Amino acid sequence: MENRRAKDLAVAVAALGMTSLATQVILLREFISVFQGNELVIGVVLAGWMMLTGAGAFLGRFSAPLSVRPSVPAAALACSGVLPPATVLLLRTMRNIVFTAGSMVGILQALAASLVILAPFCLLSGFLFTFFVHLISSIEGENRTASVYAWESLGGTAGGAIFTLALTTFLETFQTLFILLLLDLGVALFLAWKARAAVAAAAVLIVMGAAITALLTNRADTWTRRFLFPGQEIVYFRDTPYGNLTVTRQGGEACFFENSILMFSTNDVTPNEESVHYCMVQRPSPRRVLLVGGGISGTTTEILKYGVQRVDYVEINPWIIGIGRKYTRVLEDSRISAIGGDARMYVRSTANRYDAALINLPDPATAQLNRFYTLEFFGELKHVLNDSAVVSISLLQAAEYQGNEARRLSSILYMTLQRVFAHVLIVPGDRNYFLASDGPLDIGIARLIDRRAVSTLYVNHFYLDDRLIARRSAEITSAIDTSAVLNRDFKPVCYYRQLAYWLSYFGFYPGPWLLTAGFALLLLLGRFSAVGAGIFAGGFAASTVEIVLLVSFQVLCGSLFQMTGIVITAFMAGLAAGTLLAGRIVRRPGIDNFIIVQFAVSVVCLLLPIVLLWLQTMISYPLLVQCVITAIAFTAAVLTGIEFAIATRVRRGGTTEVASELYGLDLFGSALGALFISVYAIPLFGLMSVSVLAGVVSAGGGVLSLIVRKRYAAYA
Amino acid sequence: MRRYSKREFLRLCCLGAGSCMFGPGRDRSLPPEITSLFGFSPAGGGGKWSTEALFYESTSSGLHCLKCPHGCVLGPGETGRCRNRVNIGGKLYSTAYGNPCAVHIDPIEKKPLFHFLPSTQAFSIAAAGCNLRCLNCQNWQISQMSPDETENADLMPGKVVEECERTGCASIAYTYSEPVTFYEYAYDTADLAHKHKLRNIWKSSGYINETPLRKLCRVIDAANIDLKSFDDKVYVELNSARLDPVLRTLKVFKEEGVWLEITNLVIPTWTDDMDMIRRMAEWLCTNGLQDSPLHFSRFTPLYKLNQLPPTPVATLEKARTIAMKAGLHYVYIGNVPGHNAENTFCPRCGRIAVERRGFTVLKKEIENGKCKACGEKIPGVWM
């Protein structure tokens, strides 16, 4: 940028980009923590975010009158810094006032809440994009949409690097947001000073003082979190990269929550005994036990009743082991080895062999959890099991009856286990426990417990009648659908079924909504230019590639939480690089090159399955996988950035009209990708097909541009 | 590229939607991925598993159901809140007759009934449907469904009685979902069971009108009623019901001589107010129910109410102390394995009259309905 004022404003745009990305990451974590943390809620919140920002960009068309007032950029940036902490405050304090206390929030409620709560920030940030495009373009005397997009992406890159990789790991939510606010206020002060807007500068200084005070006193997190746990004393909380952990105390008992969902409480006998004894009692002398998750609830105490030599307890979130050591004594025995890390990576690398493996995890409601319910995982697990070792894994089921969704879910898990193990046995309890082994399995749990003289409070003949359990087990097994699709790493059907099961809580059927949304989309796209449709397709393809890469990395190398930050940062950097360098890479930014780039995006998407298959053979080299995935994210983003930059040249119309349409459609396309791909397409069609779908959509955009090429050719 | 007018576009969309929604036919042949998206349910109800309902009247605005306090008024083709009473051709039908979705054999202690035929088993049945909407429902997959949406057995009253006898159960329990909603089926089965010298157990939320309840008492031998709280506001918010009709049910069962036990689920922040528990216990005593066992049950997160902790055992113990101080003689704690308050203590001598562990009776120190140690009468049906 040539003009000095334009350069100052570019700093503001970068600050806006940084605020937007960091806030997105933090608010998403808050939503997961406050509402139910499954893929559907994440998809809904992300889609809501992008659509509101897109709508804000469209509204930015009316921002021209504001550009004459010199204090507006400073005031706008200050507002965009203040809104994120205000949003979190609102979310936490209103959760149990607007919604029933202690009750899960339905999908439509989550959607409505996210739209209402996110609206102020998202509408403002989208609006400001168009506003800055108009302001900078009018100062420079030419359309600078691409430059603003690039600066925003650069800010996003910094936001991704600083906030998602560094600060969110060490700081609490409000601490991070106050630091972000101070950065925004610093830039706002700079702009106000440059614009000689004394009142605005004074106002910014006052807010700055308040923010510094709030940061130093550091009370906001403690105070607001109390609203989420009414009637309980909070003794510990921490925002870990894997989710929020809270320990509360009530009536002398400690309760451990992850993302507001109870993981376990002390003195909860039934789940501890069921998850251990149904499996352990199957073999006369299990010596070495692998425990995946849930080791601080008291399960280790139950396992040790069998006189085992060693219990290797693998927990993905090391902070859980930390609170276990602090608030319980269940990890004190020297035979227990607590390992912080991804259990799949551990299973692949360990030389140990086990007589029993207890998979003690929540239901597979997310892609992350689904990895422990797949054919590939069971295959890997089998390699570390001794002959006739027993595996136990469970699903939550209603007490007396399995509904259709529950039956489908059970069928998938049963058939997937049966593909790997010779015998699978369902033991109905508070949850349904699936035991799998190559050796024989016995449903006579109470008899076995009596014979072994294991001391238990619940799993014994006083509570369990072997005859009745056998009868119920037979009923459930006979209802298994033997044609059920197997749950695979790259085609994770279980989490779709788990989401469908969750939706059945609310009697919610997404079909009519999908149809309505599809029609609305067609109507919307019909109103825009072919270039706009191409940008929409590009946004869709780009967000699909990003999601496919993140899920693939999880599947291949475990959940390195930093990887999400790395991929997002690489993606933002790619967008910035592509947009900034578009002029150098593409000499003539006309419709022909726009078409070529669209097909190039398509080629990247279509090649993705081949790369993924290759990466599957390279899982022993996680660094290589990480580098390749990062490189693909960067490449796809560079192409998307170039595509956007060319589109701003090809698309006819005034600056604000072009900026608002293209930016908005890019976000709408991304929103569709975020929701449809992560929730529906990946679990049902698999990662490979989804990549192909993204390629086809992008190529479709290219074909559309090809058809109307002549209309734009004159402008090239 | 061909350009469509808006009118043409909308017509195409409607045609597309129509072919998606109705083209393939709403039947079982659709893959589950599609049916679960749209909530299509297999055809069912009506025919064999329907019977004309009892307790309704015809009004100018539709059929007025008189069975439960909701008093639904149903227009043609409409279904009641319970999901299994339908207005078909100007007559009210129950679509839950002979088609139970859950059929199990349970120890009677699981209901819980501690003073009624201990150590026996109950042949337990439920049809889909419920007139409440509890946020913490344990059996939501059957209670919040209609019989059309569940997989059902073919078990007419005669067959239920036959199965009960074949499996050696001493009683038939109408349970799990809400037997008020499958009243006709339960009543006919219970009536037949009595003729075969079998006992009948009613496990319910007690949300029923007085006339159907009094008729029911003729064939029911024991009831366990969930008194979900002692606060009308909590009833409305947590259960979508009201308190007073449930209290009336307790009094009617007592008046009609049906053996009655009461369950109160103690839910943190909802129903763990000790003052409310004291008022509840005092009301029970005032209304002559001091000998009806009261079971304080421990809450664990279920269904939609999954962001609360389980009830601390100390809270249950406190509730029990308060209830006993108020004058109740038999107060138990449930869902806490191995707790001492699973036992029956003689209110006079304080000794254990019935020692239990889980669903098993370890020792029964009762003879002819009296404590062996001191001769105090221990109310109940002891065989």
Q: How confident is the model at residue A560 (pLDDT cuts 50, 70, 90)?
A: low
pLDDT score of A267: 81
Bridge partners of residue B29, in order along the sequence? none
Quote the CA–CA distance of A684 and A68 in Å, as a whole number: 52
Instruction: Check B300 against A704: CB less than 8 A apart.
Output: no
Q: What is the pTM of this model?
A: 0.87
Is the pLDDT assigned to residue A714 strictly greater than 80?
no
pLDDT at B130: 96
Among A337-351, A640-654, B198-212, the minimum mean pLDDT is found in A640-654
Task: Please judge whether B150 and A461 are an interchain contact, meaning their C-beta atoms are less than 8 angstroms apart.
Answer: no
Which of A102, A405, A465 lies at the smallest CB-CB distance from B305? A102
Residues A565-575, mean pLDDT to the nearest whole number = 88
Burial string for A261-296 (b: 16+ CB within 10 Å, else e) reads ebbbbbbbbbbbbbbbbbbbbbbeebebbbbbbbbb
User: Which residue would you say has higher pLDDT here, B230 or A147?
Assistant: B230
CB-CB under 8 Å, A684 with B33: yes
pLDDT category of residue A573 using cuts at 50, 70 and 90: very high
Query: How far off is chain B from A270, nearest CA to CA, in Å?
Result: 8
Q: For position B1, what pLDDT does the model report? A: 41
φ and ψ at residue A358, rounded to 5 degrees: -105, 110
User: Which residues of chain B does A430 touch, with a Cβ-Cβ cutoff of 8 Å?
Assistant: 300
- With 90 as the cut, is the pLDDT of residue A683 above it? no
Task: Name every chain B residue with its beta carbon within 8 A of the beta carbon of A458.
Answer: 337-338, 358
Name the nearest CA neighbour of A612 among A486, A488, A484, A497.
Answer: A488
User: Does A616 score more than 90 pLDDT?
Assistant: no
Distance, in angstroms, between B304 CA and closest chain A CA?
A: 5
**pLDDT above 90 for A373:** yes
Tell if the CB–CB gap between A104 and B307 is shorter than 8 Å: yes
User: Which residues from B are below 8 Å from A461, CB to CB?
Assistant: 360
The residue of A92, A99, A103, A514 whose CB has the most chain B CBs within 10 angstroms, and thus the best one to mutate to test that interface, is: A103
**If you measure CA to CA, which chain A residue comes closest to B270?**
A101
Q: Is the pLDDT of residue A559 over 90?
A: no
When CB atoms are compared, the residue of A103, A267, A402 closest to B305 is: A103
What pLDDT does residue A654 have? 79
Lowest-confidence pick of A84-98, A275-289, B6-20, B223-237 = B6-20
Which of B110, B141, B362 should be substituted to probe chain A, the one whose Cβ sees the most A Cβ atoms within 10 Å?
Answer: B141
What contacts 24+ positions apart, CB below 8 Å, involve A592-596? A592/A709, A592/A713, A592/A716, A593/A646, A594/A531, A594/A534, A594/A643, A594/A646, A594/A647, A594/A650, A594/A705, A594/A712, A595/A702, A595/A705, A595/A706, A595/A709
Question: Which residues, including other chains, have CB under 8 Å from residue B158's CB and lie 6 or more apart?
Answer: B192
pLDDT tens by residue, A184-227: 999 999 999 988 888 889 999 999 999 999 999 888 988 998 99
Residue A528 has pLDDT above 80, yes or no: no
Q: Which residues of B touch A399 (CB under 8 A)?
A: 138-139, 176
Residue B33 is predicted with a pLDDT of 53
For residue B3, the model assigns a pLDDT of: 47
- As a whole number of angstroms, the distance between CA A658 and CA A635 comes to 25
In chain B, the percentage of residues whose pLDDT exceeds 70 is: 88
**C-alpha distance from A407 to closest chain B C-alpha (Å):** 11
Mean pLDDT in residue range A391-408: 85
* A260: chain B residues, CB-CB within 8 Å: 307
Residue B14 DSSP label: H
Q: How many CB atoms lie within 10 A of CB A319?
A: 18
Which range among A509-518, A673-682, B77-86 has the greatest average pLDDT? B77-86
Share of chain A above pLDDT 90, in %: 52
What is the side-by-side order of every strand in the sheet holding A243-250? A233-240, A243-250, A253-258, A261-265
Q: Do B337 and A269 touch (CB under 8 A)?
A: yes
**What's the pLDDT at B24?**
36
- Whether the upstream peptide bond of residue B112 has omega within 30° of 0, thus cis, is yes
Question: What's residue A619's pLDDT?
Answer: 81
Q: What is the pLDDT, as a whole number, of residue A622? A: 82
**Residue A523 pLDDT class (50, 70, 90 cuts):** confident
Residue B358: its chain A contacts at CB < 8 A?
458, 460, 462-463
Question: How confident is the prediction for chain A on average, in pLDDT?
Answer: 89
Quickly state the pLDDT bin for A397 (edges 50, 70, 90).
Answer: confident
Q: What is the pLDDT of residue B284?
A: 98
Q: What residue in B sits closest to A255 (Cα-Cα)?
A: B309
Residues in chain B predicted with pLDDT less than 70, given as ranges, are 1-46
For residue A513, what pLDDT is reported? 77
Smallest Cβ–Cβ distance between A511 and the set B37, B176, B305 belongs to: B37
Residue B36 has a pLDDT of 54
- Tokens at B152, concatenated: 């059902």
- C-alpha distances (whole Å) from B241 to each of A686, B134, B248, B260 are 45, 9, 14, 21
- The shortest C-alpha distance from A250 to chain B (Å) reads 7
Name every chain A residue with its beta carbon within 8 A of the beta carbon of B163. none
- pLDDT for the residue numbered B19: 41
On chain B, the residues whose CB falls within 8 A of the CB of A270 are 337
Instruction: Give the span between the Cα atoms of A406 and A400, in whole angstroms.
Output: 12
Predicted local distance difference test score (pLDDT) of residue A505: 82
Q: Are A586 and A647 in contact (CB under 8 A)?
A: no
Spatial distance between the Cα atoms of B218 and B210, rounded to a whole number of angstroms: 13
Q: What is the pLDDT of residues B283-306, one digit of tens each?
A: 999 999 999 999 999 999 888 888
pLDDT, mean of residues A276-304: 95
Query: Taking residues A585-591, what's their average pLDDT?
Result: 76
Q: Which of A104-118, A653-667, B346-360 has the highest mean pLDDT?
A: B346-360
